[in-house]
């Protein structure tokens, strides 16, 4: 299954299915909860047409302070109402000192942070009665790290029992920004725990820095890394993210088709069920 991030900018095109036909859609519950009027009608139309996966923004699993129980309650209701098949979130924090920051801040790679986060993931999983799928985020500087990134991720997965969202573009971006080997990094991950893949474009803003913008087409080296990566995985849903500089739908469909062809080629080779 290859899906696309559902955005208001191309809602009607998605519903008509004329120029773009993903296998599923993904959206952030926070952008659609407690909404009425025109956009609620649109949401109902699109969820009738496509299977839905959700990718949260505000859970802030890495926050130092307590989880927001009322927010979780809304999420649980929303996931049930829209029959959401996968709920994923970010291995980062976006709230601190009781203030939301609306972006993904890097967690210190430390063992006390691992324990703290693992406990929170378990709380969320128990409450939602479903596994949480955690995305390895892109980051631009480590913060007070006492262990490697890959050890940190492995420990979080081991101690929490969560699944992983492997954003291949994030791995490419991190490998570039922090000068490590993307394939070696991926090989050290608990790949049997990967439940979902994201793909996106990025922007290089300095000779040594890439920002994960989701505003450009996927570049060839990221496609190559994707093709290499999925040879080591069981088939999982793959999502194309495009949040800015939205192109013509034909261009997005072209990216979807390319991803789909790679999935068919690599996963069919292993006689795996792709769709």
Partner 1 sequence: MNLLPDTYHIQQTFSTYCRTGEKVKLPGVAPHRLKHYRQLVFNMIHDTMENAFPIAFKHIPTAKWNKMVKEFFSKHACQSYQVWKLPLEFYTYAVAHNWEDTYSIPFLNDLLAFEWAEMEVYNMEDIPAPAYSLSGNWLDTPLVLNPEHRLLSFHYPVHLVAKPKDILKNKGVYFVLLFRHPETGHVEFTDLSPWLAFLTEQLTSGITVRDILEYAPQLNITDTGTLEQDTLAFLKHMQQLHFVLGFQQ
Note the residues at the interface with partner 1 (CB under 8 A): 30-31, 33-41, 57-58, 62-64, 68, 71, 93, 96-103, 105-108, 110, 112-113, 115-116, 119, 140-145, 177, 205, 209, 211
Task: Output the smallest distance, CB 195 to partner 1, in A.
Answer: 24
DSSP letter, residue 8: G
Task: Output the smallest distance, CB 177 to partner 1, in A.
Answer: 8
CB 160 within 8 A of CB 206: no
Query: For residue 130, what are its two tokens?
Result: 């479903």
When the beta carbons of 82 and 140 are compared against partner 1, the nearer one is 140
Task: Output the smallest distance, CB 110 to partner 1, in A.
Answer: 6
Q: Is 50 helix (H, G, I), strand (E, B) or coil?
A: coil
When the beta carbons of 43 and 199 are compared against partner 1, the nearer one is 43
Task: Give the helix, strand, coil percentages of the chain, each rounded to 5.
Answer: 45, 20, 40
When the beta carbons of 140 and 223 are compared against partner 1, the nearer one is 140
Task: Output the smallest distance, CB 45 to partner 1, in A.
Answer: 13
When the beta carbons of 142 and 254 are compared against partner 1, the nearer one is 142
DSSP code string of 75-139: HHHHHHHTT-S-EEEESSEEEETTEEEEEEEPPP--HHHHHHHHHHHHHHHHHHTS--EEE----
């Amino acid at each position: 299954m290859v899906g696309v991030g559902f955005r208001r900018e191309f809602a009607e095109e998605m519903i008509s299915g004329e120029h773009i036909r993903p296998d599923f859609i993904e959206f952030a519950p926070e952008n659609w909860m407690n909404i009425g009027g025109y956009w609620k009608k649109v949401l109902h139309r699109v969820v009738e047409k496509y299977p839905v996966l959700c990718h949260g923004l505000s859970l802030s699993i890495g926050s130092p302070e307590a989880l927001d129980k009322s927010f979780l309650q809304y999420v649980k209701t929303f996931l049930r109402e829209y029959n959401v098949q996968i709920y994923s979130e970010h291995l980062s924090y976006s709230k601190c000192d009781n203030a939301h920051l609306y972006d993904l801040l890097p967690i210190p790679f430390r063992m006390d942070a691992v324990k703290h986060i693992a406990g929170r993931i378990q709380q969320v999983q128990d409450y939602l009665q479903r596994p949480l799928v955690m995305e390895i985020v892109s980051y631009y500087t480590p913060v007070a790290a006492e262990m490697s990134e890959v050890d940190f991720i492995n420990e979080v997965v081991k101690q929490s029992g969560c699944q992983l969202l492997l954003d291949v573009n994030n791995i490419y971006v991190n490998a570039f920004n922090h000068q490590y080997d993307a394939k070696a990094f991926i090989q050290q991950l608990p790949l049997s725990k990967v439940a979902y893949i994201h793909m996106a474009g990025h922007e290089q803003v300095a000779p040594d820095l890439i920002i994960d913008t989701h505003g450009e087409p996927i570049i060839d080296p990221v496609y190559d890394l994707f093709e290499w990566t999925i040879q080591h995985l069981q088939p999982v849903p793959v999502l194309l993210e495009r949040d800015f500089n939205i192109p013509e739908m034909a261009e997005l469909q072209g990216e979807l088709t390319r991803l789909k062809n790679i999935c068919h080629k690599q996963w069919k080779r292993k006689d795996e069920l792709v769709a």
